[in-house]
Structure 1
Amino acid sequence: MTIAVGDSLPSTRIEIVGNTLGAATEQVDLATFAANRKLVLFSVPGAFTPTCSEQHLPGFVEHYREFKDKGVDVACVSVNDKFVMQAWAQSRNVPEGMLMIADGNGDLVKALGLDSDFSAYGMGTRGQRFALLADNGVVKSVEIEAPGEMRVSSAENMLTHIS
């Protein structure tokens, strides 16, 4: 079942990686982590892939300060290992404080009901392209892209959902 507005974020382990190669990682429970904070969680099908690297992540990097000024944390998740996520963050100048989540086995996207089969592209199970806004662990907005699209999950669109 796909997560929806009004649902609570699931209790599932996430791995937050540092933004530089070799940085320490932190394993936390998503529900616990999201408590008492506003969080935009956006998902890309794969680090270093064209749309993810040229549009999706850069939009959140560019607008990161605007989210922070509104009291919102930003986290990027991809079904990649922590080493790939660290290298991607470093190569894309992800600012300190913007969270990168390595979902190597796809546990998080599966728990959200937002996993997708990318086997036809040689990528196996990945996360759909989406963004959600949660306040104190409760989903306030979920924006899921149609295949091949990158509009509703953009940083610019997500900023319009924050009051």
Structure 2
Amino acid sequence: MKMKLKVLGFVGIALVMLASYKSDKKNNTSEVRFYDGTYDDLLRESRKQKKPIILEFWATWCIPCRKMENETFADPDFAAYINKNFLVYKVNIDTFDGMDIADRYNIDAYPTLVLLDSKNKYINRFKGFFPAYFLKRELEKNKSRITKDFLTSTAVNN
């Protein structure tokens, strides 16, 4: 009896470890990676990497924001494109820091995406929910306004 419990315990631990490994791998490759430092660190990192920035202004109570999170940013092809070409920063407007950043860009609707070049200059904004294929196309249209350093992904064909 004790031997069966030990074996079941070992199998249970192995399954938990395997499940957590797979979910970590999924999060790293199939969803947009959001920058998790401070806003000021993001601006410095953008200049260092010469990558444009997408600021996503959102709120916990915003239903279109959740839809953007669950559909657009979770799309694997879109995520690969975004992760390669941009630094993305979530700005929660329900926090004091988020309200301050939202005021800098005169944000009045949620979600709103603000596109900055790698020198942190304003390029464009997108208000509301957008499906992944549409948002990718709109970002591509802004390529020439960003910089010569803007990258493209040949693997993503939306």
Structure with greater helix percent? 2
Higher-strand-fraction structure:
1
TM bin, normalised by shorter chain, reads: 0.3 to 0.5
TM-score by length of 1: 0.46
| Higher Rg of the two aligned structures | 2
Looking at both structures, which has the greater relative contact order when contacts are Cα pairs under 8 Å and sequence separation is at least 6?
Answer: 1
TM-score (norm. length: structure 2): 0.48
